[in-house]
Amino acid sequence: MTSYRKVRRGAGRAVVYVLLTLASLIMIYPLLWMFFGAFKSNSELFGSMTLLPEVWDFTGFVKGWAGSGFFDYGDYFLNTFRMTIPCIVLGIASSILVAYGFTRFQFVGKKLFFTLMIATMLLPGTTMIIPRYILFNQIGWLDTYWPFIMPMAFATVAFNNFMLITFFRDLPESLDEAATIDGANSWQILTRIYVPLSKTSIVTIGLFIFIGNWNNFFEPLIYISSQEKFTLPLALQMTFNQAQVEWNRALAMSFCAVVPLVLLFLFAQKYFIEGIATTGIKE
Amino acid sequence: MKAVRAGNARRRRRHQNIGLLYILPWLIGFLCLQLYPFLSSLYYSFTQYNILNAPIWIGLENFRNIFTTDANFGVSVKATFLYVAFSLPLRLISALAVALLLNLKIRGVGLFRTAFYIPSLLGGSVAVAVVWRYLFGGEGPVNLALGLLGAGPVNWLADQNITIFTISLLSVWQFGASMVIFLAGLKNIPVVYYEAARVEGARPVRMFFSITLPLIYRVLMYNFIMEFIRSFQDFTAAFLITKGGPMNSTYLFALKLYEDAFQSFRIGYASAESWLLFAVLVVFTILIFRAGNLWEFYTGGGKK
């Protein structure tokens, strides 16, 4: 009886492994095609079912990287960093301040403000983009990176604030009290106690901002118009959206655009998983 | 003594109001970059406005036109609803199913999790759209594979009855982030519940509906609402892979908004459309919450 059960359970296990392996292969398969396709010649890309290229061809990378005009992908990578790094630094700094304010102080209107902040998580970005475009047009921020940096500098991504709040909330209040008795003011408590203790959450927020900017296509499409300032997604679109698509170039550059993300994930997996998990679980 | 205490209280209150200073960045951002744009777009929705000239108040004209003269509106709404109706449930079900499997204390969870998560990391990026159009192209690898199985080539990107599903499939493929959230929710369920149920002789299906589902209910709601709001606004895949076609079959609402606002520069009109989208999302979100409460009410044995 027991052995029969054990066998059945073992068989169940095996089924689970087979299922998971098959499913994860399907998940990864498109990316494998992207990777190997980048090394194929245009003629081999279609009409052949073999995943590996017959001849490893690097022209996709060389010609793709060179771009078509005055700018190459080196410029686009630099632009992407130029846009993303201020977003990360300012986004983290402002979120820390705001989360600290919401966690440790009982000020007037706190409840209302907090509710409003959570409500903005449900606010569709699509409703905001038109009036923001007009606003930025009036201020003269179109075709600059300010439309990306300023919302970060002013902590408008409620998701980030919220993640830090859930973390700060769990820090024991006795820490503050002890520091207060030692004569520390609230700024010192923040910078000397809270920030060092929440390194993990801070890194996670930084990663999320990085990825959000790296993939962002809709907003750059609207705000950025000169090729000189194109970020990677816009450049990719340019390589890709042509009457005669040079598929190996498009795939090679897509691959280049994706690699930093995948590497980042592999090295910082812990931060991602924890970060996503906490936002969904805690209230 | 009393005065001292009052002084202390006042000092503490003043000390507490420093909190306002800390949240000031958000407050400014909220007022200038969220609330003001939000309200101004409501105003624009009642105007005729092309950015170059000052907005002209035309009352409900935009809304009337959307419903009466704009042939693309209905087409776009239909495409969007089909897209959400197909991609959202599949995405959530896949996420939950894989999370349940990964929660079985199997070996190599990290490896599997990576494989399932990476697609969602790439999100709505252009790179993924490129790959999708390549894979599902006329002579692309997917059709070649089907050919080997003896199935005829499918017009994944050219048949107006199929394209919307091809695009939805890309969204389903990116279920990883929801899966990670589900997995964390599942890990929070105490194992004793299952052990007790097993002693009572409950079968796995029963355990899923009586233990798992009620206990991950909040996580489920979170995923559902967030994904719901997001998928109604999806843009990149349809814009890059099919450009809204063929025959406007993938003309998602975000595409229409983009064209009306930033190509035709009918700002007032597009603002009205964006407010309709907002209204629809609010109504649905409230309905989802309501339905959710009802469900919780019944499973809680009728107790409030």
pLDDT tens per residue, range B237-266: 999 999 888 888 999 999 999 999 999 999
Q: Tell me if A108 and B254 make a contact (CB, 8 A cut-off).
A: no
Q: Are residues B146 and B23 in the same domain?
A: no
DSSP of chain A: -HHHHHHHHHHHHHHHHHHHHHHHHHHHHHHHHHHHHTTS-HHHHSS---SS-SS---HHHHHHHH-SSS--HHHHHHHHHHHHHHHHHHHHHHHHHHHHHHHH---TTHHHHHHHHHHHTTS-HHHHHHHHHHHHHHHT-TTSSHHHHHHHHTT--HHHHHHHHHHHHHS-HHHHHHHHHTT--HHHHIIIIIHHHTHHHHHHHHHHHHHHHHH--HHHHHH--SGGG--HHHHHHHHHSSSS--HHHHHHHHHHHHHHHHHHHHHSHHHHHHHHHHHHH--
Are both B149 and B195 inside the same structural domain? yes
DSSP-assigned beta bridge partners for residue B56: B48
**Are B18 and A105 in contact (CB < 8 Å)?**
yes
* Low-confidence winner among A142-151, A237-246, B252-261 (lowest mean pLDDT): A237-246
Note whether B52 contacts A: Cβ–Cβ < 8 A. no
- Residue in B102, B122, B230 to test binding to A, most A beta-carbons within 10 Å: B122
In a domain, B247, yes or no: yes
What is the pLDDT at residue B222? Answer: 85
CA-based nearest residue in chain B for residue A19: B101
Q: What is the pLDDT of residues A173-217, one digit of tens each?
A: 888 888 888 888 889 999 999 999 988 889 999 999 999 999 999
pLDDT tens digits for range B48-83 = 999 888 999 999 999 999 999 999 999 999 999 999
Task: Give the whole-angstrom CA distance, residue B233 versus residue B80.
Answer: 9
Domain boundaries, chain A: 2-62, 67-281
For residue A283, what pLDDT is reported?
Answer: 43
**Domain CATH for B83:** 1.10.3720.10
Instruction: Give the C-alpha separation, B159 to B137, whole Å.
Output: 12
B250 and B184 within one domain? yes
Would you say residue A280 has pLDDT above 60? no
Q: Is the domain of B169 the same as that of B223?
A: yes
Residue B30 within a domain: yes
A238-246 mean pLDDT: 83
- Give the chain A residue nearest B142 (alpha carbons): A49
Indicate whether B151 and B27 sit together in one domain. no
Greater confidence, A57 or B7? Answer: A57
B286 to chain A: closest CA residue: A122
Residues 137-156 of B with CB under 8 A from A: 137, 139-141, 144-145, 148
Residue B283 and residue B204 share a domain: yes
Which pLDDT band holds residue B124 (cuts at 50, 70, 90)?
confident
- Which of A137, A155, A232 minimises the CB distance to B25? A155
Residue B302 has pLDDT above 50, yes or no: no
The mean pLDDT of A37-49, rounded to a whole number, is 82
Name which of A31, A32, A112, A130 to mutate to probe chain B: the one with the most chain B Cβ atoms within 10 A of its Cβ: A130
Residue B43 falls inside a structural domain: no
pLDDT at B303: 42
How many domains does chain B fold into?
2
* Ramachandran area for residue A4 (φ above 0: left; ψ -120 to 50: alpha; else beta): alpha
**pLDDT for residue A126:** 87
Cα distances from A136 to residues A129, A142, A144, A151, A206, in angstroms, run 10, 6, 10, 12, 25
Q: What percent of chain A has pLDDT over 70?
A: 94
Per residue in A47-71, pLDDT (tens digit) is 777 788 888 888 889 888 988 778 9
Residue B19 belongs to domain spanning: 2-37
Q: Are residues B166 and B225 in the same domain?
A: yes
Residue B187 pLDDT level (bands cut at 50, 70, 90): confident
CATH class of A67-281: mainly alpha
Residues B9, B133, single domain; the answer is no
The per-residue pLDDT for B108 is: 84
Interchain CB distance below 8 Å, B177 and A276? yes
pLDDT at B14 over 60: no
Q: For B224-237, what is the mean pLDDT?
A: 92
Q: What is the pLDDT of residue A151?
A: 95
pLDDT digits (tens, 9 = 90+) for A195-207: 999 888 899 999 9
**Tokens standing for residue B280:** 């629809």
For chain A, give the mean pLDDT.
88
* Residue B50 lies inside a defined structural domain of this protein: no
Contact B37 A131 (CB under 8 A): yes
A191–chain B nearest CA distance, Å: 13
Interatomic CA distance for residues A45 and A49, integer angstroms: 9
- Read off the pLDDT of residues A102-134 as tens digits, 9 standing for 90 and up: 998 999 899 999 999 988 988 888 889 999 999
Q: Which residues of A touch B233 (CB under 8 A)?
A: 124-126
The answer to whether residues B26 and B152 belong to one domain is no
In a domain, B175, yes or no: yes
B10, pLDDT greater than 60: no
Scan residues 189-248 of B and list those with Cβ closer than 8 Å to A: 218-219, 222-223, 225, 229, 232-233, 235-236, 240
